[in-house]
Structure 1
Amino acid sequence: MCENKVYTVSIYTENNIGLLNRISAIFQRRHINIESINTSSSEIDHISKWTIVVELSEDRMKKIIGQIEKQVEVIKAYYHKEDEIIYQESCLFKIKSEFLFEERQIQNIIKDSNAKIVHVNREFFVLEKSGRTEDIELFHRELKAFGIMQFTRSGRIAVTKDEMKISEMLKVF
C-alpha cells in the first residue's frame, strides 16, 4: 500500500457557480479531508486557479485528478509534491494591547518572526504573519502564552518550481 503524502493540487477553471460543491464532493465521496483551499485569478484573464492541499496516497491522488478534470469547467488539474512548489500561507492574530506595551518578550517574538503589526487600538492589536506552514505553527505556539483573542489563517498559495506550460494552453483556450 502506498504511503500518504501531502499534495498541493492546482486546478485551472472557468469561474462558474456550483463548481466548488462539485469539486469538494469529489474529495468528500472518498472521505478525504481538504486541509486548505484557495481560489484566485490566474495569470490568464477570466481563468481561476484553485490551490487545494490534501494528504493521501499518490495512486488516490491520480484518480482524483482524473475525476476533477471530468468537470466541464475544469481546463487542467495538476498535483505537486511538497518539494516541487514554492508556497506561502498568511494568518492574522488578535491579541490584547496590554501585552504589546508591557511585555518585552512579545515584541521580540514579533521582531524575530518578521511579523507585521497591522492594527493597534486600546483594546487589541493585530499581527500578520506569512510563511510556510511550520513557520506559522511556531509563531502560533509562541503567541499562545499571551492569550490569542482571535486567529485566522489563509489557504495555501503556491507556484511550481518548474515552468508549467499552462499559460500557452490557456491562451489557446
Structure 2
Amino acid sequence: MEDKQTFTISIYTENNVGLLNRISSIFQRRHINIESVNVSKSEIKSVSRFTLLVKLTEEQVQKIMGQIEKQVEVIKAFYHKDDETIYQESCLFKLSTDLLIDNDEIQRVINSSKSRVININKDFFVLEKSGSKEEVEELYHILDKHGIMQFVRSGRIAITKPQMRVSELLKAWQ
C-alpha cells in the first residue's frame, strides 16, 4: 500500500459564495482531514486561490483533484509535494507586557526565533512569527511556559518551485 504524504493543493476559482463548503465536503465524504486552509486573491484579478494542506496517497490526491475540478467555479487545481513548494505559516502571540520588561529570556527568544514585536501596550504585547510549521510549534512550546494570552496561526501559504504557466492559463480563462 502506498504511503501517505503531505500535499499542497492549489485551487484557482471564481470567488463565489458556498464554494469552500463544497470543496471541504469532497474531503469530508472521504473522511479525509484538511490540515490547513488559506484563501486569498491570486495573481490574476478576480480569481481566488485556495491553498489546502492534506496528507494522502498520491492516488487519493489524484482522485480528489478530479472531484474538485468538477466544481463549476473551479478554473484549475494543482497538487504538489513539499519538495516542490516554498511554504510558510504565520502566527501571532499575545503575551503579558510584564514578561517583556521583567524577563531577559523573552528578549533572547524573540531574537533567536526571528520573530518580532508588532504591538505593545501596558498590558500585553503581540509577537509575530513567520516560518515553517516546526518553527512556529517550537516557539509556541517555549512561550507556553511563560503564559500565552492568545494565539492564532494561519494556514499554509505556498508557491511552487517549478514554473507553472497558471497565469497564462488563467488569462486565457478571462
Q: CA deviation at 1:172?
A: 0.7
Aligned counterpart, 1:136? 136
Secondary structure of 2:15 counterpart: coil
2: CA distance between counterparts of 1:124 and 1:76?
A: 44
The 5 Å alignment of 1:37-52 reads 37-52=37-52
Moved over 4 A (4+): none
TM-score with structure 1 setting the length: 0.98
Aligned counterpart, 1:164? 164
TM-score with structure 2 setting the length: 0.98
| 5+ long unaligned stretches in structure 1 | none
| 5+ long unaligned stretches in structure 2 | none
RMSD over equivalenced CA pairs, Å? 0.7
1: CA distance between counterparts of 2:101 and 2:109?
A: 13
Pairs aligned (count): 173
Secondary structure of 1:164 counterpart: coil
2: CA distance between counterparts of 1:170 and 1:73?
A: 13
Of all paired residues, the percent bearing the same amino acid is: 58
The 5 Å alignment of 1:13-162 reads 13-162=13-162
1: CA distance between counterparts of 2:57 and 2:170?
A: 29
Q: CA deviation at 1:56?
A: 1.2
2: CA distance between counterparts of 1:32 and 1:106?
A: 39
Secondary structure of 1:129 counterpart: strand
Q: CA deviation at 1:118?
A: 0.9
Q: CA deviation at 1:92?
A: 0.3
2: CA distance between counterparts of 1:124 and 1:166?
A: 43
1: CA distance between counterparts of 2:172 and 2:82?
A: 29
Aligned counterpart, 2:9? 9
Amino acid at match of 1:44: I
2: CA distance between counterparts of 1:131 and 1:102?
A: 27
Residues 136-158 of structure 1, C-alpha deviation per residue, up to 9 Å, x if partnerless? 11111111111111100011111
Q: CA deviation at 1:41?
A: 0.7
Amino acid at match of 2:79: Y
